[in-house]
Structure 1
Amino acid sequence: MNNVEFLKNHLIKVIHTLKSENGISEECYRGILSDGFGVESCKELDEKELYQLAQRFGYAAPLNVLVKSEFCKSGKASAAQIAMIKGLYFKVAEVKNELGLRNFIDRIIGKRPLYLNNLEIKEAQKVIIALKEWQRARKGDKN
């Protein structure tokens, strides 16, 4: 599988996850696809259109980071995971700085990384899950 195919598959998964997390009905989703892109399925979209749709649903990772990433070949966190960690953290945190981010990571995985690209894939996944839970909790506080 080449990087473009992997990127498309990644974005399709992101879109379906965000669709579910945001409570978007199937009817509304199909309307967005039809009105916004003239298609019936997101599988018909190219990677830039998939990225636009993912952004519309709240995806924070920059496209240039996704395109350049090697998608976890080394066992280390991908550039997309790191971008998602930073994007989510700076959305929900009260202390929006790199030290605060590293302290948060330390609480989740038990170590404070000097560089985020030193995180293992599983560690990055744990941090992303914790950030999403924090984001959901913050949304619940505002209601």
Structure 2
Amino acid sequence: MSALLTISAALAMHPALGGASFAWSRLLAALATRTKRIGPATGLPALGAAWQRGFASPKQVPVTAVTADTVLARIDTPCPLRGTGRTAACWRMMEYDRAVAAAAGGQFVVLESQAEPGVTACRVALRLAGQPMDDLVPAHIRAPEAGLRGRALRS
């Protein structure tokens, strides 16, 4: 897992390699969804559980709450981007999570990133596909990297 995260972070750190970063993440997600049989979830608790199956251990990605419309979770796995301030790189790297969530019939957003200084666990949210996400502010928008302020990426 550590080696995959290191490769993912190395690709994500360089905006010019964004296409390669997305392709790598989507390939890993396709392998995970196929081998772990991740398919459309029947509701929010099932969406959270399906997303968790995309990881080596659900203990590293605990679901912290399920509200009427949102699954809230943490990513405790230490990230190579931790403390770097590289929230756009985090956004690129999280294409894996977005692809796994999509395979489960959901949407995914990072609310707080380990890339932010002082943050040791990512806070994330999932919603069923088609549900509004505009009230959830992604970390790369809320805490953009220096030099990228004002340049929005898709969430």
Scaled by the length of structure 1, what TM-score is found?
Answer: 0.29
Larger Rg: 1
Q: Which has the higher contact order (CA 8 A, sep 6+)?
A: 2
Q: As a proportion of its length, which structure holds more helix?
A: 1
Q: As a proportion of its length, which structure holds more strand?
A: 2
